Structure 1
Amino acid sequence: MLSDIERKVLRVISNYSAGRRRTPTVDELCVKTGRNRGGIMTVLEVLAKEEYIEWQRSEPDKIDVLEAWERKGPGR
């Protein structure tokens, strides 16, 4: 289950890419979420680990969305 900020960043990435045909940069995510760069990098690491996005810290602005919505947990 994703935290609120992880869910928010995933939705921002998904909506941004649907509207602009590209994913947002880390700096754009900072502006849209009000978080600092370190916080966004941590969130992106979690989303990549959970396989919602494909992302590597070495190329921070290259984000590929694998799953745009949070998965439903058991019993939902």
Structure 2
Amino acid sequence: MLSDYERKVLRILYNYSSGRRRLPTVHELTVKTGKYKADVMAALEALIDARYIHWEDKSDTANIVILEGWEREGERPKVDHRPPAANNLNYWTEY
């Protein structure tokens, strides 16, 4: 399962490539994420290890190939999307 930061970097890569037809530079990733270059590089390495991206020539981020743009279904955290039980008491105690 990806950390929140790794998921964020993956989404930035994917959205940048589809919207701007290019991948962001490491500097642009540091600006977008608010983290240091070492953090960005660690996240990219984790994405490589998890096989979300392929990055053979690490001299430039333009050489990154995105293998999967979204986190895999089985690895997503479980979220309960059911609405709370409907009764009049909820209105007065929760809102």
**TM-score, normalised via structure 1 length:** 0.89
Match of 2:53 in 1: 53
Higher relative contact order (CA 8 A, sep 6+): 1
Structure 2 unaligned regions, length at least 5: 79-95
Relative to its length, the structure with more strand (as a share) is: 1
**TM-score, normalised via structure 2 length:** 0.72
SS in 1 for 2:64: strand
Percent sequence identity over matched residues? 53
SS in 2 for 1:45: helix
SS in 2 for 1:35: coil
Match of 1:69 in 2: 70
Q: State the number of aligned residues.
A: 75
Bigger mean CA offset, 51-60 vs 16-25:
51-60
SS in 2 for 1:59: coil
Give the Cα–Cα distance (whole angstroms) in 2 for the partners of residues 19 and 72 of structure 1.
24
